[in-house]
Structure 1
Amino acid sequence: MRILRSIIYVLIVLMATPFLLVHYGPSGVATTSKVALNALFGYGGDEPSADIVRQQLDVADGFRLDLYATGLGKIRFMYATEAGDILVSRPRSGEVLILKADANRDGSPDDVSVLLSDLTRPHGIDYLNGWLYVAESNAVGRIAFDAVSGRVSGVYTRVVTGLGDKGNHWTKTLRAGSDGWLYLSSGSTCNVCEEEDPQRASVMRFKPDGSELSIYATGLRNSVGLDWAPWSNELFGTDNGRDLLGDDFPPCELNNIVEGGFYGWPYINTSTLDPDYGDKLPKDSPENLLPAHEFKAHNAPLGIRFLRHSAVAGFERSALVALHGSWNRSVPDGYKVVVLKWQPDGTIIESDFVSGFLQNGNLLGRPVDVTEARDGTIYISDDYSGSIYRVLPDDGLESSFTLPAAVQQVDADVGVLDGYDEQKRASLAAQGAQLYQQFNCAACHQPASRMALKTLGERYNAASLADFFSAPTPPMPAFPLSAEQREAMAVYLFDQELKAAH
């Protein structure tokens, strides 16, 4: 399958190369062709390693980032349950996955399985009053869901049917509002046109049982992300601007979506009449509402999430937005997660939150959605490599490779390796020595700076030190170690300490 995929990729690139050279130049061919294949056919990149993620991705001050899961396929939107599980949609396979919370603290979900299947291109997911709602491309369904156990029960039932999913922008995004309604976005069928189906290029809403479906706002070309500002309960939505008007126009948008609001498409781009459809603007058209914020053209803002549980100072009135990245600019742009910070005067300042997905023509991933767990942990989905990244608050300790004291007091009368027989201890110590060399630990723990590795037995036992390696204090990296490997590292370090003492 990998060979066939590569052959198909090469053939398509060869056929498209003349077009790409004319429009994007030699430097843009490789990246642009990969992104176009991802957008059109679902072609993705290789699964990244934890090392590459740590080396290539930068995260805002006050946070640290790691690779939480990969190999998940063409994943899209997420929902974090109260138990810390992550639900994620996989439209091309018709499934919703559940990633069980990292209870054993090894840096990855405890289990990944299919929660729902046989769906029609599921995309948006949300939870309301004991029901899990799924926005398929042509319907909205729901099923009883226990958010604590992560189990569904009963029969999956479609409460809204007959939604249009032909043409472009077939995804549907779903968010539950505090007013008891569910809000549903539906993108346009085209780049720019006058729609025959009034539900397209809109945001709709309906009651939890599927009744009273109505159009809430219009003129929204492709509002993939929806969320409410927690301090004002205003609804905001990202919107992708049209193509084929050059590198830098029109900007993509963040809109404050209000009932009855009209946001311009296809007749107006922000405040400028469209060159193709501006003269077709109906005389009785509602007032065009301007964006609350403008993103760069073709950056493709998708998921948006207002932070509600962050303990990091300066993020109290903030939202994270996933920029999927351009496929139609001469110089590719986007491919990152940005933070929008609301100022006291209502203006919004944008800055990078996670960047580095695209470097020197090498594409690591394309962010799609952002969700936040109740403990403040942030998750970012990537449909290019099939990965989920986890962002945690940095603990703020001094930036040296010192090992903090263990949570539990170590019994000074019990030797740290007394629980191992000689053969087991030797075997684990040998394995730990190999790992110590493999990850070049000596580069930071040179003899002159080995105080951090001394007196470990006064603060740790083998189990607590192994547990420390699963989430070490920055800047020490979290190496991709199994439980046995973490134990081997702990035994090796204790073994070296005991030998040095004698």
Structure 2
Amino acid sequence: MSEHFGRTRHIVVAPNGVVFVKLSKLKDGKGIWRLVDKNGDGKADDSTGFGGYTGTGIAISRGYLYASSNEEIYRYKLDDKFNVVNPNQPEKIVTGLLDRGEHNTKSIALDGKGNIYVNIGAYSNACQMKDRTKGSPGMKPCPILDSAGGIWKFKEDKANQTYGDGERYATGLRNVVGLDWNTATNSLFVMQHGRDQLHDLFPDIWDTKQSAEAAGGVYV
């Protein structure tokens, strides 16, 4: 797949086996590709591109395909064969999300009950006074947590939502690379990218082993 599509971010597989791929770099001007294995040999032999924007998040829920850029969340209506009904006119569900160029990808998950959860990564390593500067203390409370460093919850079917329409569902997470809703426990599970360089920045406190093991990246 990567040989043909380059920088693949997240993928989602429909119940009938159709695969949707989200790219961080456009291929032929398209950031989302629909792949179909028609002959059952385990290889895609038909592909269709749409969505002229890059990004990370992609998910299917209740008859819609959801996809994210680094600032917005879109959704596309699907038919019963998981074809995109109108690929050129998606609904914009969320807009105006923070993009400072660092940890700016917007991973998403849906709970099947009308809510979409969006990662908004922190635009710093560990909320230091001077980012990635040796000995620079952390800020407490961390001032960027009002708009980054956590998970925000929005409605999956309301157009043009902004921060004011959402709920800060979880905070203190540097950058959640992947997340998914667990229907068995009725809760959100996440996998985050922790902070870097604890030993490099504070060698009097952390040795290299502790730095590797304690890089949790939690903000307060």
**Short-chain TM bin:** 0.7 to 0.9
TM-fit CA distance, 1:240? 1.4
Contact 2:79 2:85 in 1 (8 A): yes
Note if 1:223 corresponds to 2:159: no
The one-letter code sitting in structure 2 at the alignment partner of 1:238 is M
Distance 1:188 1:196 in 2: 7
The one-letter code sitting in structure 2 at the alignment partner of 1:243 is D
Structure 1 230/152 Cα, relative in aligned 2: closer, same or farther at 3 Å?
A: same
The one-letter code sitting in structure 2 at the alignment partner of 1:113 is T
TM-fit CA distance, 1:251? 3.9
Contact 2:198 2:215 in 1 (8 A): no
Aligned length: 187
Distance 2:168 2:24 in 1: 24
Unpaired runs of 5+ residues, structure 2, are 128-141, 200-207
The one-letter code sitting in structure 1 at the alignment partner of 2:124 is C
Contact 2:109 2:181 in 1 (8 A): no
Aligned match of 1:97: 33
The structure with the largest alpha-carbon Rg is 1
Find the partner of 2:196 among 243, 247, 252.
243
TM-fit CA distance, 1:142? 1.4
Note if 1:169 corresponds to 2:117: no
The one-letter code sitting in structure 2 at the alignment partner of 1:231 is A
Unpaired runs of 5+ residues, structure 1, are 1-67, 254-263, 268-502
Distance 1:77 1:216 in 2: 22
The one-letter code sitting in structure 1 at the alignment partner of 2:66 is Y
TM (norm. structure 2) is 0.76
Determine helix, strand or coil for the equivalent of 2:25. helix
Query: Per-residue CA shift, 1:20-52, capped at 9, x if unaligned?
Result: xxxxxxxxxxxxxxxxxxxxxxxxxxxxxxxxx
Distance 2:101 2:82 in 1: 38
Determine helix, strand or coil for the equivalent of 1:76. strand
Contact 1:140 1:161 in 2 (8 A): yes
Structure 1 238/129 Cα, relative in aligned 2: closer, same or farther at 3 Å?
A: same
Distance 1:133 1:105 in 2: 26
Contact 1:167 1:190 in 2 (8 A): no
Structure 1 89/252 Cα, relative in aligned 2: closer, same or farther at 3 Å?
A: farther
Find the partner of 1:191 among 122, 125, 130.
125
Query: Per-residue CA shift, 1:275-326, capped at 9, x if unaligned?
Result: xxxxxxxxxxxxxxxxxxxxxxxxxxxxxxxxxxxxxxxxxxxxxxxxxxxx
Contact 2:2 2:8 in 1 (8 A): no
Distance 1:226 1:149 in 2: 23
Aligned match of 1:136: 69
Structure 1 217/134 Cα, relative in aligned 2: closer, same or farther at 3 Å?
A: same
TM-fit CA distance, 1:233? 1.9
Distance 2:187 2:179 in 1: 11
Aligned match of 2:153: 205
Structure 1 147/163 Cα, relative in aligned 2: closer, same or farther at 3 Å?
A: farther
TM-fit CA distance, 1:84? 0.3
Determine helix, strand or coil for the equivalent of 1:196. helix
Distance 1:147 1:214 in 2: 32
Determine helix, strand or coil for the equivalent of 2:4. coil
Contact 2:14 2:82 in 1 (8 A): no
Give the stretch that moved more between structures: 211-220 or 152-161.
Answer: 152-161
Note if 1:178 corresponds to 2:126: no
Structure 1 219/69 Cα, relative in aligned 2: closer, same or farther at 3 Å?
A: closer
Higher strand share: 2
Find the partner of 1:126 among 21, 37, 59.
59
**Which runs of structure 2 are paired with 1:345-356 in the superposition (5 Å)?**
none
Distance 2:46 2:2 in 1: 10
Contact 1:221 1:239 in 2 (8 A): yes
Distance 1:138 1:202 in 2: 15
The one-letter code sitting in structure 2 at the alignment partner of 1:103 is K
Determine helix, strand or coil for the equivalent of 1:132. strand
Distance 2:2 2:172 in 1: 37
**Which runs of structure 2 are paired with 1:282-297 in the superposition (5 Å)?**
none
Aligned match of 1:256: none
Query: Per-residue CA shift, 1:136-163, capped at 9, x if unaligned?
Result: 1011111212251423326212121110
Structure 1 145/243 Cα, relative in aligned 2: closer, same or farther at 3 Å?
A: same
RMSD of aligned alpha carbons = 2.2
Higher helix share: 1
Distance 1:141 1:219 in 2: 26
TM (norm. structure 1) is 0.35
Distance 2:149 2:18 in 1: 32
Query: Aligned residues: percent identity?
Result: 30
Structure 1 195/98 Cα, relative in aligned 2: closer, same or farther at 3 Å?
A: farther
Distance 2:10 2:57 in 1: 6
Query: Per-residue CA shift, 1:157-207, capped at 9, x if unaligned?
Result: 212111011131010011110332111111111112134361211101111
**Which runs of structure 2 are paired with 1:254-273 in the superposition (5 Å)?**
265-267=218-220
Note if 1:72 corresponds to 2:25: no
Aligned match of 1:294: none
Note if 1:112 corresponds to 2:65: no
Determine helix, strand or coil for the equivalent of 2:153. strand
Determine helix, strand or coil for the equivalent of 1:70. helix
